Amino acid sequence: MCLSIPSKVTKIDKESNMATVDTMGVSREASLDLMEEGSVKIGDFVLLHIGFIMNKIDEEDAMASLETYREILEIMDAKEREEAILDGDNCPSGGN
């Protein structure tokens, strides 16, 4: 039950205060009763929990996190290459 699902808003029905969201290919209806009026827009990324939208996912923050992970991978890759080169230098048979 803790597990809410990131989804994308595809439709908004102001009258019923409901939104339609896409959760990885499955379309679902979700209540906007827990969100400030007018705060959710089509295209927003949101957390869906038992039929309700409970917050908006901060896109910029998510992208910043993904960028951090990219940088970590680059650093690790660079380290591995360095170690591979050093291993090569230290190898008694010298690659022969």
Helix (H, G, I), strand (E, B) or coil at 31: strand
Q: Distance (Å, rounded) from C-alpha 47 to C-alpha 68?
A: 22
Beta strands in the chain (DSSP E): 5-13, 18-23, 26-31, 45-49, 52-56
Cβ proximity to other proteins, 69 vs 95, nearer residue: 69
Closest distance to other proteins from the beta carbon of 50 (Å): 5
The binding site for other proteins (CB under 8 A) comprises 1-4, 6-8, 22-24, 31, 33-36, 45, 47, 49-52, 54-55, 57-59, 61-63, 65-66, 69, 72-73, 76
Closest distance to other proteins from the beta carbon of 93 (Å): 28
Q: Distance (Å, rounded) from C-alpha 79 to C-alpha 84?
A: 9
Cβ proximity to other proteins, 66 vs 85, nearer residue: 66
